[in-house]
């Protein structure tokens, strides 16, 4: 098998969703960590119950789902709460991501893109990626886009941006950079070139996946998933 993993990240309002949209148009396999993060905290899930134990029922919406905005305001100002939430959700997110990776492996995809907003902040998953891609835009454009998109004032927008690792710092760790400072057509051309390079690349996933599986202690899960997909 020649499938490998590609980590995709960016910063708030840097334009990652634009890049993902183009990749999906090209038929790429994209695993969205944000979507999974919402799925694993649905009512009656293990993570949902643990979050309620630590954060209380005041973070719930009327339908029983977690109010992401209310929870976000708590963890934004309290780093220890953010670490606690991550310790609850990250294991569940990783399990679901692994399940989806194995699905695409069995289906014969050349590579799988893992769309992970905090890929470079956490750094833990980067060692399992053959390539890492950063969606970049210059700081003034990032600030202007965030203010326009969210209706925030300058101070609020700057605070949101400063809570993440600066894009210029992330550039040092990325193997590929998509510069989204210009127009959409310029970004699209860069994504097409990247896609062509990835399609021509031949690298093996199994050694990396085996190491990650051993570290995560998910050997039994991999066996069961493989048996499920192959049967």
What value does the mean pLDDT take over residues 22-27?
A: 96
pLDDT at residue 25 is higher than 80? yes
Structural contact between residues 102 and 87, judged by C-beta atoms closer than 8 angstroms? no
Structural contact between residues 169 and 187, judged by C-beta atoms closer than 8 angstroms? no
pTM assigned to the model:
0.80
Using 50, 70 and 90 to split pLDDT, how confident is the model at 225? very low
Using 50, 70 and 90 to split pLDDT, how confident is the model at 202? low
Using 50, 70 and 90 to split pLDDT, how confident is the model at 175? very high
What distances in angstroms separate CA 78 from CA 17, 70, 71, one per listed residue?
Answer: 28, 13, 11
- pLDDT tens digits along 133-174: 999 999 999 999 999 998 989 999 998 898 889 999 999 999
Fold designation for 1-29+112-200 = Rossmann fold (3.40.50)
Q: How far is the C-alpha of 76 from the C-alpha of 211, rounded, in Å?
A: 33
pLDDT at residue 215 is higher than 90? no
Q: How far is the C-alpha of 140 from the C-alpha of 81, rounded, in Å?
A: 31
- pLDDT tens digits along 32-76: 999 999 999 999 999 999 999 999 999 999 999 999 989 988 987
Using 50, 70 and 90 to split pLDDT, how confident is the model at 207? very low
What value does the mean pLDDT take over residues 68-97?
A: 91
Q: Where are the domains of the chain?
A: 1-29+112-200, 40-108, 205-230
Please tell me the predicted confidence (pLDDT) of residue 134. Answer: 98
Q: Name the strand (E) or helix (H) holding 113.
A: strand 111-115
Please tell me the predicted confidence (pLDDT) of residue 223. Answer: 37
Please tell me the predicted confidence (pLDDT) of residue 176. Answer: 97
Q: How far is the C-alpha of 139 from the C-alpha of 116, rounded, in Å?
A: 20
Please tell me the predicted confidence (pLDDT) of residue 163. Answer: 82
Token reading at 12 = 């708030």
Q: How far is the C-alpha of 158 from the C-alpha of 70, rounded, in Å?
A: 20
């Amino acid at each position: 098998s020649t499938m490998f993993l590609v980590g995709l990240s960016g910063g708030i309002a840097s334009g990652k969703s634009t890049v993902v949209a183009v990749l999906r148009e090209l038929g790429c396999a994209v695993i969205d960590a944000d979507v999974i993060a919402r799925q694993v905290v649905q009512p009656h899930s293990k993570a949902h119950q643990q979050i309620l134990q630590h954060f209380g029922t005041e973070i719930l919406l009327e339908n029983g789902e977690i109010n992401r905005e209310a929870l976000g305001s708590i963890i934004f100002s309290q780093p220890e709460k953010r670490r606690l939430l991550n310790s609850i959700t990250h294991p569940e997110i990783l399990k679901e991501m692994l399940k989806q990776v194995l699905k695409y492996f069995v289906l014969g995809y050349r590579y799988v893109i893992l769309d992970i907003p905090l890929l470079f902040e956490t750094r833990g998953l980067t060692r399992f990626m053959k390539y890492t891609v950063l969606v970049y835009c210059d700081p003034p454009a990032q600030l202007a886009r965030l203010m326009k998109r969210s209706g925030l004032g300058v101070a609020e927008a700057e605070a949101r941006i400063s809570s993440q690792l600066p894009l210029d710092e992330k550039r040092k760790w990325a193997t590929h950079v998509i510069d989204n400072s210009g127009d959409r057509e310029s970004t699209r051309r860069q994504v097409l070139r990247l896609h062509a390079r990835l399609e021509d690349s031949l690298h093996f996933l199994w050694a990396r996946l085996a190491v990650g599986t051993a570290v995560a202690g998910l050997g039994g899960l991999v066996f069961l998933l493989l048996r499920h997909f192959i049967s």
